Structure 1
Amino acid sequence: MINAFMQARTGSTRLPNKVLKNLQGLPMFIQQAKRVQRAKLVDNLVIVTSTDESDDIIEQLCNENNLLCFRGSLSNVLSRYFHAELNYPCDAIVRITADCPVIDPELMDYVINSHLKNNNDYTSNCLVATYPDGLDIEVISKNALHNAYKYAEKPSELEHVTPYITSHPDKYRLQNIQSEQDLSAYRWTVDEPKDFELISSIYENLYVKKPNFNYQDILELLSHKPELNLLNPQIARNEGMVKSLKKDKEEGYE
């Protein structure tokens, strides 16, 4: 059993309510959920949000769109995932964030298949970034998740779910999936208003004709319309992780 847990919240500091932004007639996270549901190796998709009242709207929209929803800790996202797995038991969890509305279900299946084939504890395409920011996929075994919940302490480990696992290659079998071509300079995630401008343009150009567009379609679009790449230049990748690592140091962790 493979469950995808898509973490979503309304309280983004850089772009509040970003997951609710209208993307071709639907909230952004609902559009992303529809893409995730097309992954053939995912048995269930669960939207994992917080118990904070600001996220009541996410649960409401899940109910309206027949999506499973679990609510847990706002700040301890690792705890949220752990308790979500207790409620929706599975052998492995696919971790994705709800600010990546062009995530590719075929790529998800590829990463999941590699995870199962190699009996890994953790498989992703972002340990070493070679895919566009916004296509990040992490697959975690149930045992690795439970182990991380038991031993993780650092703020970065609790907020970002998987750092305890990825920082202990002596304990866990890890695998990174790399793209044949380095595509890491592309930014297709939504953290800033300009990010959403790009994503909206991608949907405007591709979604109407081909709702199931994949990441190769996006690359082709950008090759014909390179000006779109100028919408969100020079925004740092993984700013949230950088802030968490700073907090680790402030609390005395190395």
Structure 2
Amino acid sequence: MTSTRLPGKVLLPVGGQPLLHHHVERLQASGFPLHLAITTNATDGPLADFAEARQLAYVRGDEHDVLSRYALCAQEHELDVVVRVTSDCPLLDGALVGHSVQEYLRANDTRLYLSNVLERTFPRGFDFEIFSRELLEEAAQHATLASDREHVTPYIHQNRSGGVRFQHVLRSENRSAYRLTVDTAEDFELIRRLIEEHGAAALSADALVALLDQHPELVALNAHVEQKKI
């Protein structure tokens, strides 16, 4: 709720519902339970209210130590596998996430980190990372840099422990230049138009990419926006 570039962004209304509603609806297509890791700040009270109204599990923890929030969530809800997504990606494809989780589970390897973020071929905004509670707790115990604590997974995906195995989820055609995350007013305008004018909330990842391929004027709305660096 205290986003510096677009305050309150996850509850901004689109199509008669807050952005977070669309995000949750799409993630539930994964077939796996959803957990919100919310800060203890009073400003994030509306997010707790949102979770309670929809009977979603949640925990509340430190604003800046997001890693500790994830570890707390995994511990309290006894999660063996964690999928990290961020709440500014309302068009993330839950079915894609669910398929990738099944791929992760088939590997049966607690040292595996599977994601579509290290080798980018998906649009930004489709990001997910899958890892074990073992790797999460290892990071929570040993990560010391402020950026490690804020961004959750650097200790894991930089393989600081030396024992992580990597697997990448890739598209056949690279569309990593497209931007479907919400960090600025321009980002929000693109998502708003996609949902309200093109039915994007019901589209798969491939269908969304095809839509952007067909509408360069939509891509241009936020093509100039630079992602914040870690």
Q: TM-score range by the shorter chain?
A: over 0.9
| 2:41 alignment partner, one of 18, 27, 52 | 52
Aligned length: 227
Would you say 1:144 and 2:142 are equivalent positions?
A: no
TM-score normalised by L of structure 1: 0.85
CA distance in structure 2 between the partners assigned to 1:100 and 1:147 by the alignment: 27
Residues 30 and 97 in structure 2, CA contact (< 8 A), matched pair in contact too: yes
Q: Deviations over 1:104-150 (max 9, x none)?
A: 01210232122112234311011111110000010110100010001
Residues 32 and 98 in structure 1, CA contact (< 8 A), matched pair in contact too: yes
Alignment of 1:23-172 (within 5 A): 23-40=14-31, 42=32, 44-120=33-109, 121-168=112-159, 170-172=162-164
Cα offset, 1:240, TM superposition: 4.2
Name the residue aligned to 2:182: 190
Structure 1 residue ranges, 4+ long, deviating more than 6 angstroms after superposition: none
TM-score normalised by L of structure 2: 0.94
Name the residue aligned to 2:170: 178
- Across the aligned residues of Structure 1 and Structure 2, the Cα RMSD in angstroms comes to 1.4
Structure 2 unmatched runs, 5+:
none
Name the residue aligned to 2:207: 217
2:75 corresponds to which letter in structure 1? L
1:132 corresponds to which letter in structure 2? P
CA distance in structure 1 between the partners assigned to 2:166 and 2:59 by the alignment: 27
Bigger mean CA offset, 113-122 vs 143-152: 113-122
Identical amino acids, percent of aligned pairs: 34
Residues 178 and 223 in structure 2, CA contact (< 8 A), matched pair in contact too: no
Q: Deviations over 1:29-63 (max 9, x none)?
A: 121011101113x1x10111100111011101111
1:92 corresponds to which letter in structure 2? V
